[in-house]
Each structure stands twice: as structure tokens, then as C-alpha cells.
């Protein structure tokens, strides 16, 4: 269902699934939905109430939206309430940003309070940036 009609799948899961099922389904749903209609997927993800399901939807959206603006996706990822998921989504999106605009990404990384120092070093090392 997620591949054929991700919007219907997302709405069904939110209405009928338990929290664990909802979180797990968001990865597959968002991956399909972003490819079909990234704007609608983003609207759905951001309209969910704060908590684990929204975190999963936003994280999956950000990771699936490889053609979207890294800066916008980082701002969205920063709204994830789970610290580990937030750091991972921001870090992975920043790595992609490094390949597009290393100067801008490096500036963000160095000033970020969301990414821990270990992740900052890894991103800078892999992206060719430096301190």
C-alpha cells in the first residue's frame, strides 16, 4: 500500500496502528511518498503531533528527500524531539550538504548546538572541511 498510495497508507497507519507500528511504517511510507510528492509528504510529517511518530516521519522524510534543500531539511530535522534521531538526521543531511556547499555546511557544523563534537569531526573529515 505504501508504494501504491503512500498518503492513504500513512493515514491508515496513523488511525489504525499502534505507536510502534506507526513509527516503523513511516520509513517505508516516507521513502515512497517523497519520491511521488515531497511537498505532501513533508506536510503530513510536520502535521503530526509531537512525539515518536512525528519524529519517525520527519526523520524518514529528511533522509528520503535527497533532492531537497539541505538547509531546509536541517531546520526540519532540528524539530525532532528524540536527541539521537535528531542528531543522526541533522548529521546525515549535513554530510549531503557538504558535497553541495562545503563552506556553508562547514559554517553550520561549527556553530551547531545540535550535532555533537564526534559527529562534527566525522562530517568535517568525510566532507573535506576542516577547522
The residue-averaged pLDDT of 72-100 equals 93
Q: Is the pLDDT of residue 129 over 60?
A: no
Does the predicted model carry a pTM greater than 0.85?
yes
- DSSP helix, strand, coil percent of the chain (3-state; round to 5): 75, 0, 25
CA-nearest of 32, 48, 33, 45 to 72 is 45
Q: In this structure, how many other beta carbons lie within 10 angstroms of the beta carbon of residue 11?
A: 13
119 pLDDT band (50/70/90 cuts)?
Answer: confident
Direct distance between the N- and C-terminal alpha carbons of the chain, in angstroms, rounded to an integer: 47
d(C-alpha 102, C-alpha 10), whole Å = 35
7-58 pLDDT, tens digit per residue, is: 999 999 999 989 999 999 998 899 999 999 999 999 999 999 999 999 999 9
54-79 pLDDT, tens digit per residue, is: 999 999 999 999 999 999 999 999 99
C-alpha cell at 117: 563534537
Q: In this structure, how many other beta carbons lie within 10 angstroms of the beta carbon of residue 130?
A: 8
**In the chain, where are the structural domains located?**
1-67, 69-131
CA-nearest of 85, 80, 90, 88 to 111 is 90
The pLDDT, as a whole number, for residue 131 is 44
Amino acid at each position: 500500500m505504501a508504494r501504491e498510495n503512500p498518503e492513504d497508507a500513512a493515514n491508515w497507519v496513523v488511525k489504525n496502528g499502534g505507536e510502534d507500528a506507526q513509527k516503523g511504517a513511516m520509513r517505508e511510507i516516507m521513502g515512497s511518498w517523497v519520491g511521488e510528492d515531497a511537498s505532501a509528504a513533508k506536510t503530513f510529517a510536520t502535521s503530526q503531533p509531537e512525539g515518536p511518530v512525528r519524529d519517525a516521519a520527519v526523520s524518514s522524510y529528511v533522509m528520503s528527500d535527497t533532492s531537497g534543500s539541505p538547509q531546509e531539511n536541517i531546520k526540519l530535522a532540528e524539530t525532532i524531539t528524540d536527541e539521537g534521531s535528531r542528531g543522526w538526521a541533522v548529521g546525515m543531511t549535513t554530510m549531503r550538504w557538504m558535497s553541495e556547499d562545503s563552506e556553508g555546511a562547514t559554517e553550520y557544523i561549527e556553530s551547531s548546538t545540535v550535532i555533537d563534537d564526534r559527529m562534527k569531526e566525522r562530517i568535517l573529515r568525510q566532507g573535506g572541511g576542516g577547522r
